[in-house]
A and B are shown apart, each in its own frame.
Chain A
Amino acid sequence: MAEAAKPRPPVESGVVDVMPFLHPVMKKNYGKWKWHERPRPGVLHHVAESGDEIWTVRAGTQRQMDVHTIRKLCDIADEYAEGYVRFTIRSNIEFLVSDEAKVQPLIEKLEAEGFPVGGTGNSVSMIAHTQGWLHCDIPGTDASGVVKALMDELYEEFIREEMPNRVRITTSCCEINCGGQGDIAINVQHTKPPRINHDLVANVCERPAVVARCPVAAIRPALVNGKPSLEVDEKKCVCCGACFPPCPPMQINDPVHTKLAVWVGGKNSNARSKPTFHKLVAADLPNNPPRWPEVAEVVKKILRAYKEDARDWERMGEWIERIGWPRFFELTGLPFTKYHIDDWRGARASLNASAHLRF
């Protein structure tokens, strides 16, 4: 009898040491950098205490890359840069060179191959995003597609640095919001309670776990058509979709009623003001592939108002803090509704308890 192949035990190596992956100039000057500047959009220039210099050229990518694209980027890095790259948190690629003379040819090559150079300083950088229909198991919309469509629209703002301060945009394909916070966050917002397939619940879902998952206690066990199932108090339901991951027969996604909402003013940096979460400004936008034009229109409206009205260094939330929300809705032309008024826990902290008013 043939012996079964022995499984290979993993080498639990964990996180690798970074040193072998660093450009030699970065390795040599590790922890000993002195200052930096941005000579042009998409380029950083760092100078070390030793006097050594390094230039970084940043380019946008599509994040979900085929091996041919990655190899092409590697070819560019080998021929025009010095064989070392890094990626940013927003999936931009950075090429590192120790000679200023190499910067311009590298930029020209990247642009010729269709990789926009930019994303630094006061630009609209690449949109941080989730997996969407390509790979997620609970997405209400796509992610790579939304981002591609939007970045086509915002292309000029990526390759330039013309905003008052940096603009960070995120998208998320469900309300769990893996895409994160941003100056502008574009997130799925479910608008109807889940539709329950009662035939499947007992077989698929651990019912107490699903009941426990609901943030407003709207789910309770029920017997439906003689089978153990779950029911939703639709008046209580906030359509968050939290029940769907542990219980797919509670379908929350809907071709019509899964909508998109736009949030603004999120910031994680501590610069000037403390970090903030983004706030709802527009909702009920149709989930409209392949180009989501209604979403793009709202985003551009907000960006236009910010670009025209904000002062140097003001992030979007800081601009709104200065001009006030009434003026924000006036400048953007977006409607203000009762849904903008928070009624979740801690809501009172967001209400105006003063006679500070703006007319």
Chain B
Amino acid sequence: MAKPMHPTPLLDELEKGPWPSFVKGLKRLAQNNDMMVDLLGQLETSYETRLGYWKGGTVGVFGYGGGVIPRFTELLDENGKPKFPEAAEFHTLRVMPPPGWHYDTATLRKFCDIWEQYGSGLIALHGQTGDIMFQGCRTENVQKAFDAINEMGFDLGGAGPALRTGMSCVGPARCEQACYDTHRANRQLINAFLDDMHRPSLPYKFKFKFSGCPNDCMNSIQRSDFAVIGTWRDDIQIDQAEVKNYIASKGRQYVIDNVVNRCPTKAISLRDDDTLEIRNKDCVRCMHCINVMTKALSPGKDRGVTILIGGKRTLKIGDLMGTVIIPFMKLETEEDWQRLEEFAGRVIEFFAENALEHERTGEMIERIGLANFLEGVGVDPDPNMINHPRTNPYVRLDGWAEEAKKWEERKAKAAG
């Protein structure tokens, strides 16, 4: 029953070499799946002509406006018919994974069974937005595949001008450096704004990413509109006995070169008795010394998160990193978690109301100015938000006295 294979001399080259080959996988599927036979035919054509041949469209599941990435072939023969008809429709279902991409094998096997029945048998673990990408489905099977996946308790992710699937690092599941529960944050925030995912109506995409510490393993700062990065306020925890053990194994020179001298704010000294001294007021919580001495040093105990808003890649105005908006927020009590959710809601609402079409949060902030954004989401200015104060004098300062008074009042209030 299987269709004969198209010759694929270029793709065959990618079966060679030591790294696992996706072409081998496609060919294995093609043994009893005509869609993959034709998919290989179209892909080989792309390799020959150096052009892509997919176009989008509108395919979805009942009740949702997004989450399916439709693909129709543009590779037509002289009669205007698809040259590789079995792969003429090759849609992707984006499915939200468990936070941190943790799985048991039973779940992965069920995914495989469903996708073998309704789709091409090709699954990407995972796409760049964090979703499980069930790649290759005919329009008629999209609803059936979704129903089966949805019955397992999984839901579609985001696509288009919508809230996108969140990403969270391994977090407290396995990492001692996680300063908050990244998995809970991912689930709570995404699920709180799920309507904005399933029925796309934002100006453009909006992404949350959650990293447990400033190592930022999720690249939240560059790749998300709302980056939640774990941090701490008190002193780094030091186990001096372990410091001595580390020096005994690596030598003083190594510790001086790679711990003391690599501290970006010169906050660390090595004492003559092989113990470390850290001037915590100077520490910027970069994680370096903790990364080097994983047994001797760990983040402090007064933990929480820093929130940076507005990261994104190239289009349209160029790269933007997230900007610090909330320097520190505790995430321990239910009230803390509620405060995070309310703040995220204010940011999304402000974005929905003030961004132009196809404008990301960071671009909106650049256009309107950070001060206006802060006012819009109800956050007071903080020197942690800037690298340095303004250098140009072209600004109206006639509200200065009033603003200075607010600062003094806030300071007095904080001091109790």
A residues lining the B interface (CB < 8 Å): 7-18, 20-22, 26, 30-37, 46, 54, 56, 60-71, 73-74, 77-78, 83-89, 91, 93, 96, 114-116, 128-142, 144-145, 148-149, 151-152, 155, 175-181, 209, 212-213, 215, 240, 242, 248, 253, 255-256, 258, 266, 268-273, 275, 277, 287, 289-291, 311-313, 344-346
Contact = CB atoms under 8 A, between A and B. Distances in A.
A312 B258 contact: yes
A21 B287 contact: no
B349 to A, nearest CB: 19
Contact of A46 (B153, B174, B263): B174
Interface stretch (B21-29, B378-386, B400-408): B21-29
Nearest to B316: A215
B225 interface: no
A68 B28 contact: yes
B80 interface: no
B176 A152 contact: no
B106 to A, nearest CB: 8
B214 interface: yes
B286 A65 contact: no
A26 B176 CA distance: 12
14 contacts: A10-B64, A14-B191, A14-B194, A37-B295, A66-B25, A67-B112, A114-B18, A135-B135, A145-B22, A151-B19, A181-B313, A270-B214, A270-B229, A271-B287
A89 B124 contact: no
A115 B20 contact: yes
Nearest to A168: B219
Contacts of A8: 62, 143, 147
A115 B55 CA distance: 34
A18 B98 contact: yes
Given A22-B173, A268-B219, A15 B187 contact: yes
A26 B112 contact: no
A115 B25 CA distance: 13
B12 to A, nearest CB: 8
B361 interface: no
Nearest to B317: A215
Chain B interface size, as a band, is: 35 or more
B313 A178 contact: yes
Contacts of B344: none
A62 B22 contact: yes
Contacts of B285: 270
B313 A177 contact: yes
A11 B263 CA distance: 50
A83 B105 CA distance: 6
Contacts of B102: 18, 21-22, 26, 84-86
Given A131-B127, A213-B358, A277-B321, 20 more contacts: A8-B143, A12-B198, A13-B154, A15-B186, A33-B178, A46-B175, A64-B124, A67-B112, A68-B28, A70-B112, A74-B109, A84-B103, A89-B169, A114-B20, A115-B20, A116-B18, A141-B50, A180-B128, A269-B287, A270-B215
A35 B99 CA distance: 22
B172 A33 contact: yes
Contact of A213 (B155, B194, B316): B316
Given A33-B175, A269-B216, A7 B62 contact: yes
User: Which of B22, B56, B101 has the most chain A CB atoms inside 10 A of its CB?
Assistant: B22
